[in-house]
Amino acid sequence: MNARLIAFSGFVTAFVGAGIGFIAAGLFPCPYTSQMYQNLEQKYAFVGAVAGLLIGSSQEIIRELKQERDAEEDLLRDLNKAIHSSTDQKHY
């Protein structure tokens, strides 16, 4: 697996997730004024960044594993064709 590509995908989606969290906090202002509800932009951006990092990295890992599986299946298919073609020639 390409760790650099997985990290890059995770960071890009983390950046996008942070932006979405920051925008969501700005679009939906909180009517409460207690200390827990202060700095919601930062909290939403952090949650969005973590979610984006996890989602982006997971998606890239799944894509890479699928490519490896497809390559293995192609290799097995070619090997199976070679075995069947060599056994078919012996019967004639």
Q: What is the mean pLDDT of residues 25-54?
A: 89
H helix and E strand count, the chain = 2, 0
Residue with tokens 């064709």: 81
Q: What is the mean pLDDT of residues 4-33?
A: 91
Instruction: Identify the CA nearest to 82 among candidates 92, 72, 74, 66.
Output: 74
Q: Which burial class, exposed, middle or buried, applies to 56 when counting CB atoms under 10 A from its CB (0-12, 13-18, 19+)?
A: buried
Contact 52, 13 (CB under 8 A): yes
**Total Cβ atoms within 10 A of residue 8:** 14
Per-residue pLDDT of 40-86, as tens digits, reads 889 999 999 999 999 999 999 999 999 999 999 999 999 998 888 87
